Amino acid sequence: MRPADGKMARIGVLGLGNWGSALALVWCKDGHNVLGWTVEQEVYESMMTVHENKKYLPGYQIQELDCTMEISDVTESCEILVLALPSSVILEVVDMLIPSLRPSHLLVDLAKGLAPAEEGGSGMISDAIERRLDDAGMSNQVVVMTGPTIAPEVARGVITNALVACHDIGVAERVAERLSTDSLILTPAEDPVGAELWGAYKNCVALACGLVDGVKDTIGGDNLKAALVLSGYSEGIELLEKMGADPKTAFGPAGIGDLYVTATSPRSRNRTLGEKLGSGKSLEESLEEMHMVAEGVRATRMFLDRAEGMGQPTPFLSTLGDLLDGSIQVEDAVRKMVGSYEVK
């Protein structure tokens, strides 16, 4: 969907993993001017020589995409800065951006995770970004973008609905109008806290659901996966509301929409990690086999830490944490997580 004045946006995509590359592709196809930034020499050379991210998004050429390894190139030429980065590194990149930010720059946070505990505040990545900006005397708007977005499907042009959330609903509406395409439908909302919390939490549920695929030859099956979704989703509704999420967000793209696709898609990183664990591999072995980041392990531990600080019981997450720590077997963990569901 192009803006009424017909002007294309100048978009900088910081981080060319599969999600950043997929967004760069759809926005280039829509006629926007897109510049991608990466710290990986392998990715940079692949994009510059064959116009394809062979490491993270093979099979899709992005002829119109320019690339750089200099972050100042992005701030000099772009107006919208899309932070397509894992939660573990996004704040470090923001620190790199701040010296060259202009007041007109708008930041779009795609990280589906929580900020480290030492960041304080609400625990949200977007809140940590805003506090860094405030400390630097800046007031740039920060928008959270999240939802059921399997990157290769977005790249293929599958119709996808995602949420763009901001404390200022007017900003969210303008971003949604500017960056929506025929296949990428962005819905504006004003609950960035809830959007970000659900974006992180659903990875925990997906990790648990992947266990079912790992034990498919014994106790695994669709009934069991549905039971785990129910237990995890129910616990999330209660926990995330107490952490500041608007209850309505649980029933939109950032909540049940993202949870459904991440828990069931064969392309989901967190479901895939859970499947490896369910098949008997250790956490270290499973992580070693994955070249893309699965946020569910870090998110599980961080949610458990926050819940403990609040005095909030989380039997589903606690059992998942025990499994990740190696103190419970897969079948016993699955049974405990299913049994944690209560009708309230």
Backbone angles phi, psi at 84, to 5 degrees: -95, 65
CA angle 213, 254, 173 (to 5 degrees): 155
DSSP character at residue 118: G
Write out the two tokens for 310: 């609040």
What amino acid occupies position 6? Answer: G
Residue 301, CB half-sphere, CA atoms under 13 Å: how many?
A: 9
Catalytic residue (one of 202, 225, 276, 336): 202
Q: What is the dihedral of CA 174, 176, 178, 183, to 10 degrees?
A: -170
Is 327 exposed, middle or buried (CB count within 10 Å of its CB: 0-12, 13-18, 19+)?
Answer: exposed
Q: Name the CA radius of gyration of the chain, rounded.
A: 20
Burial 213-234 (b: 16+ CB within 10 A, else e): bbbeeeebeeebbebbbebbbb
> Does the annotation count 202 as an active-site position?
yes
Q: How many beta carbons lie within 10 A of that of residue 262, not counting itself?
A: 28
DSSP string, 27-78: HHHTT-EEEEE-S-HHHHHHHHHHSEETTTEEEEE-TT-EEES-HHHHHHH-
Active site residues: 202
